């Protein structure tokens, strides 16, 4: 039988990717705030500046979505969000994905510590993203969009959670 435990797999991951993923820096809010701005220890800052920012900046998007599937993507995602927001102040930066859904309660308590993130989509995001786009164009209110965390002056707005989108009702993706 397979005798590997979850802790063995995490240890293996850390041995291979500790310096690259910086996932150990995503375990606390203070560490995450710090590493997202750390010009010396965060290798993603220079990488994103040299490869991503100019390309995205030329498009002048109204919205940029960043998917965070697992903890090893947290530091790069938050770093990219910060850099994008510093260059494109009027662009709405939204995070989503399984990691955001998994820790949404903790994230909602600390979201205001990350002023470069305008909202977070939790759980199923297909309809939420469409409604968010419409609201940003003036056709709806953020407070009425399900599965959305949005920082507000007095806290974080946590909208109702809606699940169960029928995949057959969704349009075919246009890649």
CA–CA distances in Å: residue 52 to residues 11, 39, 56, 89: 31, 16, 6, 16
3-class DSSP assignment, residue 18: helix
Per-residue pLDDT of the chain (175 residues; tens, 9 = 90+): 455 655 665 565 555 555 677 888 888 899 999 999 999 999 999 999 999 999 999 999 999 999 999 888 999 999 999 999 999 999 999 999 999 999 999 999 999 999 999 999 999 898 899 999 999 999 989 989 999 999 998 889 898 888 777 778 777 878 8
């Amino acid at each position: 039988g397979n005798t590997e435990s979850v802790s063995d797999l995490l240890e293996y991951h850390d041995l291979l990717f500790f310096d690259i993923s910086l996932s150990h820096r995503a375990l606390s809010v203070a560490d995450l705030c710090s590493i997202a701005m750390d010009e010396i220890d965060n290798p993603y800052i220079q990488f994103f500046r040299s490869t991503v920012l100019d390309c995205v900046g030329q498009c002048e998007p109204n919205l940029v979505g960043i998917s965070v599937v697992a903890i090893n993507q947290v530091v790069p995602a938050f770093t990219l969000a910060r850099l994008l927001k510093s260059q494109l102040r009027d662009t709405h930066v939204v995070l989503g994905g399984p990691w955001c859904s998994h820790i949404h309660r903790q994230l909602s308590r600390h979201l205001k510590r990350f002023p470069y993130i305008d909202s977070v989509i939790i759980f199923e995001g297909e309809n939420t993203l469409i409604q968010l786009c419409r609201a940003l164009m003036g056709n709806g209110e953020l407070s009425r969009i399900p599965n959305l965390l949005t920082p507000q002056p007095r806290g974080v707005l946590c909208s109702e959670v809606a699940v169960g989108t029928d995949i057959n009702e969704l349009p075919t993706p246009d890649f």
